[in-house]
Chain A
Amino acid sequence: QVTLRESGPALVKPTQTLTLTCTFSGFSLSSSAMCVSWVRQPPGKALEWLALIDSGDNKYYNTSLKTRLSISKDTSKNQVVLTMTNMDPVDTATFYCARFVHFRELDYWGQGALVTVSS
């Protein structure tokens, strides 16, 4: 059974760095077909893809946010970490992590973590 769970702060201040952890089970990031991706969704708005990391430690980022994002993995702990720097109130969103298979579809999603940016 594949599960993913996001964890991190619910509230961050403007200019701070957000660090979110995705802890997953039921698959391994050492498998060549597997990747983990992050997606965010501001309240009432559309999904926005952020980043992904694959089994070979290759990393891909949303071109608009690339300078602010960093993704990493700890295969032994089944965790993927996303950092986003210089947070602003417009970055308030629910952040999801999802399993990404063969660069084709996001087949399992976490429940999401709401992050509010406010002073």
Chain B
Amino acid sequence: QSVLTQPPSVSAAPGQKVTISCSGSSSNIGNNYVSWYQQLPGTAPKLLIYENNKRPPGIPDRFSGSKSGTSATLGITGLQTGDEADYYCGTWDSSLSAWVFGGGTKVTVL
């Protein structure tokens, strides 16, 4: 049972948009930065979004992040087959003094 809650899966056709939610509490998302990670099949996770809504160099602007209260959202527009992956949210939990991940969301391009 993850501290952060994500939907197990989302899907859409190529070119469409998907959003992935990440729900937490005041001890984690509510008072700390959220980051998002993309894990392509058979590879290590890669940082996709940091500090709620910033993209590292090389990450296309099709990927966006936002945060409101105790929830965060990852958006992917112009969906491509290469976006099929597992996506994880993560943040620091001040009560646990520990990093926490969401349970992951599998994105499928129909």
Contact = CB atoms under 8 A, between A and B. Distances in A.
Interface of B is mostly: strand
Nearest to B50: A105
B50 A49 contact: no
B45 A96 contact: yes
B10 to A, nearest CB: 16
Given A46-B88, A49-B101, A110-B44, A104 B96 contact: no
B45 A104 contact: no
Contacts of B47: 105-109
A63 B93 CA distance: 11
Interface residues of B, number: 25
Contacts, number: 64
Interface in B1-58: 2, 32-33, 35, 37, 39, 44-47, 50-51, 56
Contacts of B92: 103-104
A47 B86 CA distance: 10
Interface of A is mostly: strand
Interface residues of A, number: 24
A107 B101 CA distance: 14
8 contacts: A46-B88, A60-B97, A60-B98, A104-B50, A105-B35, A106-B47, A107-B47, A112-B44
